[in-house]
Amino acid sequence: MPELPLVLLHAFPVDSRMWNAVRAPLAAQIRVITPDQRGLGRSPMPEPQPEADREPSLDDAARDVIALLDKLELDQVVLGGCSMGGYLTQAVLCAAPERIGGLVFIDTKATADAPEAAQARLDQAARVEAEGTAGWLADYVMPLMFADGTLAERADLVSSTRELIEAQPAAGIAWAARAMAARPDSLDLLRETAVPTLVLVGEHDKATPVDQAKLIAEAAPNSTLEVLPDSGHLTPLEVPDLVSRAILDWYPRG
């Protein structure tokens, strides 16, 4: 078994249960850790701190991840994430590059949001604080989450994902949306990264398309890019077998 564990960070607006279908095949060969991010799933928002007046930042969420590594006494891991989890992976890489022995980017991007996209996240945060998540958030994001074929033909997956979205606390959703809106461009950071990097993207990803995955792969010097067929933005849910196989085939050994 490879000595470096794999830490996988989940997408927005769900929690670590999105990894359920890939966890078992991965865990047969790798130690796998799938935490919930602050305010989502079973992870509470931290108690107010002196810096609470600051705007939400993925830098704070990165400190959560580093604190988890410290708690588990893990000097170095392979770190990866899907969508928002990929953004958070970049923030951890910036804060503590020495803790990372490999990177896995799944359906994500390394560029900052355009102003209109950032504003849409801020509007989403305000609405979820006012209305909660039920009745609108899943309808708002679901068309971007899956390939059209999945939306049309896989009712069970669509329904279970809807339930997962609506189970998330409004405070965590709002915090995450604002933190993502403020994130920087990370392409220069990736250009300075020598560790093995795997980039996976769904062929029909509408939220972070293949072109965005190519930018990551072109920036990271030691990268492998794989486009996964018949899938959209949440490939670990749509094509878990392909995701787990790609990770295992690539995984740094020793």
**243-253 pLDDT per residue, tens:** 999 999 999 97
Distances (CA, A) of 194 to 101, 112, 234: 9, 22, 27
Average pLDDT over residues 135-160: 95
Task: Tell me how far the alpha carbon of residue 253 is from its chain's centroid.
Answer: 23
Residue 52 has a pLDDT of 52
pTM for the predicted model, two decimal places = 0.96
Residue 122 and residue 225: Cα distance in Å, rounded?
31
Dihedral (Cα; 86, 143, 160, 208), 10-degree rounding: -10
Name 78's bridge partners: 6, 102
At residue 2 the predicted structure's pLDDT band, cuts being 50, 70 and 90, is low
In CATH, the number for domain 6-250 is 3.40.50.1820
Beta bridge partners of 198: 104, 224
Instruction: State the Cα torsion 83-87-89-93 to the nearest 10°.
Output: 160
